[in-house]
Amino acid sequence: MENAADGSRRSPSLRLLCPKKSILSSPLPSLLWLVGSPRFLQPVTVAAALRCLRFLSDDGPFSPDLPHEADEIRGLLVRGFDIVGGLFVGSANFESDASRPLELAGELRQRLFGERASHGMVGGCVDASTGDIRFLVSESEGSEVVEGQEVLWGDEPGRSLLEKGCLLRCELQLQLPLYLPSDETMSGIEARFSSLIESTAANLRGPHVSYLVEGPTATFDESHHSVILHGNNLNSVSQLPINTNTNKCSAKIVSCSEFLPTKRHDLSSIRENADAIQITVLSNQSLNISKAGSTVPMLKYFPAPAPASLRVIDLKLDILCYSSMDLPVAVAVSELVIPGLADQLSIMKKAIVSELLTQQPQLCPYHFVPPGLLIPLTAIYDTRYGEIEEKQSELRRNLHFRLGLPLDRPLLRTSNALTFGAMEMRDRSSSKSSSLLRDVHKEIPSSGVSGGIMSLIDGSYEYYHYLHDGIDDNGWGCAYRSLQTIMSWYRLQQYSSINVPSHREIQQVLVEIGDKDPSFIGSREWIGAIELSFVLDKLLGASCKIINVRSGDELPEKCRELAIHFETQGTPVMIGGGVLAYTLLGVDYNEASGDCAFLILDPHYTGGDDLKKIVNGGWCAWKKSVDSKGRSFFLKDKFYNLLLPQRPNMV
């Protein structure tokens, strides 16, 4: 701990990158495991909080089932991140309960990594009555525990993680032969399988194994774009110096930064296009060839016990690691990648062992950075029966609980997993919607409603308007554009992975369900709220509510109902009346005075995607039913239909 100017020891500061609301929103009482990266981030830094789910007794958070917690968190936590503390939420004994979660976190970490923590640890509790948070910090195992002097909540925390660190990814397909004697007992079979997995993990550092390290994008300096590291040379690399001049150093000393583009991307883009150093495992089977240099293929015979049957165990390993940019890549492979592969082998062994004699699970790891979290996490799914299988849904639900994610949206489905590859290739092959403006309403002025309560769309959307995609739909396509904006909301909230449909594809759906004649395809006929509901139901399985209003003058009477919609569902609303259609993104409503305004996203805009022009031109703006000059925005002599898409309740 730092010394003050007078020679006394200062209480340590604590930096939290995870949002404060993610801690305070946990149910009462609960225990949170605090996650950081003490090797790569400044101590003591908390990057995420995981909820404890397994307990031994009715004491709840005071008696966690540490063996089960360790088993589940081992597969979830990316190597490079570590348990750095624990926190009680809803403590009744605010003064005495802060040290207990620190002790529990130390025990959990020992189960995860086989040793006590040498880095600083933090414990704390949240007062059940006031919500106040108290933290205690220890510099290392056995050191003095003192109260944190300063708690710093991170500013742009996602950038902090990306500027200091990078991701490494390693995939490995394995086919392991398991010979089963006919008279073998189940315990004997399990022992054989365990021995097979352990020997496979040990061979990751063997003389026959090499690691090809490549960057995610091509660089001008091809000499440092890829290196090969040999497994038996990785046992003593932890003391390698930090790379300062890679042109004069061996491959082992090349730092991770040499493999990544200079331009880094923000957290939102990482969720869509993840940059990661790629690690490929190579097996050199000709290493022990004769000294004569013969290139004749060699065949080895391994007799199996007879009589015996052969089962081939197919495994697909896929791990992520988090490392500092200046760490030598050989150290990253030795101390992060290889232990990560061994951990995943052990996890898969436990999942497979009970089904060795039946149908083998098809285990597949996926990596996620769900909204609200800053660090990548890994989930291993059994893909035998698809995502709708009940056990799979229950697994995702438990993960949502552990990560503090909402239970009404599918944030951890396979379609939401991180994708990896060259940014340039992804940009060329990305969907047409990737170039559209998002969330344009965030730049507009206030509504002008005095004392109103604002209720807005929950989540992101893309702005579709006339003349997009080279389609001249001026005068007839406003409802199509509103539907496309609504579809983009479902896609960006990860309820769907299908592309936003074109006008022709929308028309095709309406013909397929029998709502329109075949001549409708390719026409310029208008559609309304009813047709939009049919398309949403067909393509997404999303239900809709429809509100009928006899006149534009009556729309303010629906503000309370619309406010409830935005607060509970949060989806964009389509307003159709006469020959016009708009997208509604929110309402500002003063219940006492009746004053209200509607946040309108206008699809009739025909210009380019210039945010300033769109905002200044009022194409996304607050509109009152009657403005200060007495002009009505909604038509008095036209009826209106309001389409309220519903948020699916699923994980």
Identity of residue 241? P
| Cα distances (angstroms) measured from residue 608 to each of 37, 70, 570 | 44, 53, 28
The reply to whether 602 belongs to the active site is: yes
Catalytic residue among 400, 595, 602, 620: 602
Contact 313, 243 (CB under 8 A): no
DSSP secondary structure of 176-200: EEEEEETT--HHHHHHHHHHHHHHH
Encode burial over 57-80: b for 16+ CB neighbours within 10 A, e otherwise.
eeeebbebebeebbbbbebbbbbb
Catalytic residue among 119, 537, 604, 609: 604
Environment class of residue 475 by beta-carbon count within 10 Å: exposed (0-12), middle (13-18) or buried (19+)?
exposed
- The CA distance from 491 to 594, in Å, is 35
List, in order, residues 6 or more apart from 210 with CB less than 8 Å away.
Answer: 228, 229, 230, 231, 281, 282, 283, 284
Q: Is the peptide bond before 307 cis (omega within 30 degrees of 0)?
A: yes
3-state secondary structure of 272: helix
Please tell me what DSSP assigns to residue 593. Answer: T
What is the DSSP pairing of strand 277-283 with strand 165-181?
A: parallel
DSSP secondary structure of 502-517: PHHHHHHHHHHTTSS-
- The CA distance from 441 to 359, in Å, is 52
List, in order, residues 6 or more apart from 583 with CB less than 8 Å away.
Answer: 481, 482, 485, 486, 572, 573, 574, 575, 600, 601, 602, 603
The reply to whether 478 belongs to the active site is: yes
Environment class of residue 604 by beta-carbon count within 10 Å: exposed (0-12), middle (13-18) or buried (19+)?
middle
For residue 122, give the nearest of 93, 84, 66 by alpha carbon. 84
Helices within 18-92 (DSSP H only)? 20-24, 66-76
Structure tokens belonging to residue 501 = 């449909």
Q: Is the peptide bond before 29 cis (omega within 30 degrees of 0)?
A: yes
Catalytic residue among 18, 52, 125, 478: 478
The reply to whether 249 belongs to the active site is: no
Helices within 77-207 (DSSP H only)? 99-113, 157-164, 186-202
- Catalytic residue numbers, as ranges: 478, 602, 604
